[in-house]
Amino acid sequence: MKILTVLTYFRPHISGLTIYVERLAKALVEGGHEVTVLTSQFEPDLPREEMRDGVRIVRVPVVLRISKGVIMPTFPFLAWKLAAKHDVLHAHLPQFEAGGLALLGRLLRKPTVLTYHCDLELPSGIFNRIVNQVVHVMNYLAGMFTHRIGAYTEDFANHSPYLQRFAKKVKVILPPVALPEAAPGEVEAFQGEHNPESRGPIIGMATRFASEKGVEILLDALPKVLERYPNAMVLYAGQYQDVLGEDAYFERLFPTIQKYQANGQWKFLGIVDPSEMSAFYANLDVLVVPSLNSTETFGLVQIEAMMNGTPTVASNLPGVRQPPRMTGMGKVVPIGDAVALAEALIDIFDNPENYQGDPEAITRQFSPQSNAAGYVEMYRELGIR
């Protein structure tokens, strides 16, 4: 079948959403399907069209940015043109264009599917509140016109006002997670480059430096951790400079981070190549996901860490708390509670044997092939063969 996938940002932009869509698209192509991704040309030097891993990527020129959103006047024309040539339309929310795409599916009598990744919660301010409301309206229209909606977990589906409103259309499909195994010697080489003094225990974060990720909660937890484990260290993998809309957040926290950097207790790694992420996780004693709101609905990095034998500590957010609970490989702490985070980290460092799981079983359960099979079944329920 021919599948048109639509989202605002795609590769080379890095986020949990783009990684999810990339893995799903590749798995669908491996299964013999044709996949076209329609997305924004968010950087002017990106090609308007290209092929990656068998996936066709079509980018729409951007004439204006509004907060983290983009204005693309030619999007309706390209969407109509591509939709007419595909069997099913698959949009990924939150997305301003999703309402129009779902309506287009109805007009063209094309089955339309949504995947609801997270709620949209922009930083405070009158303008951002307006943007929030506009996107919420478009997401609501998309929910009205679409045929099916995919959700990561029952937990998040049961707590999301959006998914509750369209509960009869919702189907839970576990997210796709895949990482190449570390080659022989790669774990040791990673340590030699990034932790040559063999400090430990090692706390990891793997995410964009963004206000909803709760970086300050880890910073507030560190004094108590360092009191018990003075040789502890944070390795931070992910974009931390020039993150869209997050400059003020970074500037506010950076003076504190600099103090830990000076003592060898914090190191930014930048964007780590996917081929190196297994070595990153294998060098950690724990991965933390101290997210603060429902813009985070699962935390794919938790499963990546667990596939490499590393436990996690997650905020008690619907969906985000599921990986530790499903696998037993970690702990769940109250949202925004730095003291509880510190205590959880210390407990894991004191008793690592209590947080071991079955990485092979986790790898099978969350494979991109399983995720793609779930969506193919959904497409076929809508009459596509």
Q: How far is residue 209's CA from residue 239's CA, in Å, rounded to a whole number?
A: 6
Same domain for 144 and 237?
no
Average pLDDT score over the chain: 92
Residue 92 pLDDT > 90, yes or no? yes
Same domain for 327 and 195?
yes
Quick one: DSSP state of residue 353? G
Peptide bond into 176 cis (omega under 30): no
Same domain for 138 and 119?
yes
Same domain for 337 and 284?
yes
Return the percentage of the chain with pLDDT > 70, whole number.
Answer: 97
Same domain for 229 and 282?
yes
Residue 379 pLDDT > 70, yes or no? yes
Same domain for 139 and 272?
no
The per-residue pLDDT for 220 is 97
Is 125 a member of any domain?
yes
| Host domain of residue 165 | 2-176+367-381
Q: 246 or 228, which is more confident?
A: 228
The per-residue pLDDT for 293 is 87
Same domain for 239 and 152?
no
* pLDDT band at 96; cut points 50, 70, 90: confident
CA torsion, points 273, 277, 278, 284, in degrees to nearest 10?
150
Q: How far is residue 297's CA from residue 315's CA, in Å, rounded to a whole number?
A: 10
The per-residue pLDDT for 85 is 96
- Over the stretch 22-54, which tens digit does the pLDDT of each residue have? 999 999 999 999 999 999 999 999 999 999 999
Q: How many CB atoms are closer than 10 A to CB 163? A: 21
Is 377 a member of any domain?
yes
* Average pLDDT rounded to a whole number, residues 227-241: 95
Q: Using DSSP, state whether 60 is helix, strand or coil.
A: strand
Same domain for 40 and 78?
yes
Peptide bond into 111 cis (omega under 30): no
Is 74 a member of any domain?
yes
Read off the CATH number of the domain in which 128 is found: 3.40.50.2000
The per-residue pLDDT for 123 is 58
Is 181 a member of any domain?
no
Q: Which residues is 203 bridged to in the sheet?
A: 234, 286
Same domain for 348 and 271?
yes
Closest by CA to 14, choosing from 323, 270, 315, is 270
φ, ψ of residue 291 to 5 degrees: the values are -60, 155
* pLDDT band at 67; cut points 50, 70, 90: low
- Over the stretch 308-342, which tens digit does the pLDDT of each residue have? 999 999 999 999 999 999 999 999 999 999 999 99
Same domain for 101 and 204?
no
Tokens of 36: 């076209």
CA angle 39, 44, 179 (to 5 degrees): 55
Q: How far is residue 220's CA from residue 342's CA, in Å, rounded to a whole number?
A: 9
DSSP state string for 122-134: PPSSHHHHHHHHH
Phi-psi region of 125 (alpha: psi -120 to 50; beta: other; left: phi over 0): left
φ, ψ of residue 193 to 5 degrees: the values are -80, -40
Tokens of 62: 């951007």
Is 49 a member of any domain?
yes
The per-residue pLDDT for 119 is 74
Same domain for 61 and 200?
no
φ, ψ of residue 31 to 5 degrees: the values are -85, 5
The per-residue pLDDT for 353 is 95
Residue 294 pLDDT > 80, yes or no? no
- Over the stretch 183-210, which tens digit does the pLDDT of each residue have? 889 999 999 999 998 998 999 999 999 9
Phi-psi region of 53 (alpha: psi -120 to 50; beta: other; left: phi over 0): left
- Over the stretch 113-131, which tens digit does the pLDDT of each residue have? 999 998 766 556 676 677 6
Same domain for 214 and 356?
yes
The per-residue pLDDT for 255 is 95
Q: How far is residue 299's CA from residue 250's CA, in Å, rounded to a whole number?
A: 21
Domain count for the chain:
2
Is 90 a member of any domain?
yes
Q: How far is residue 213's CA from residue 3's CA, in Å, rounded to a whole number?
A: 32
The per-residue pLDDT for 282 is 95
Is 276 a member of any domain?
yes
Does the pTM surpass 0.95? The reply is no
* pLDDT band at 243; cut points 50, 70, 90: confident
- Over the stretch 255-283, which tens digit does the pLDDT of each residue have? 999 999 999 999 999 999 888 999 999 99
Q: How far is residue 8's CA from residue 245's CA, in Å, rounded to a whole number?
A: 15
Q: 138 or 329, which is more confident?
A: 329
Is 78 a member of any domain?
yes
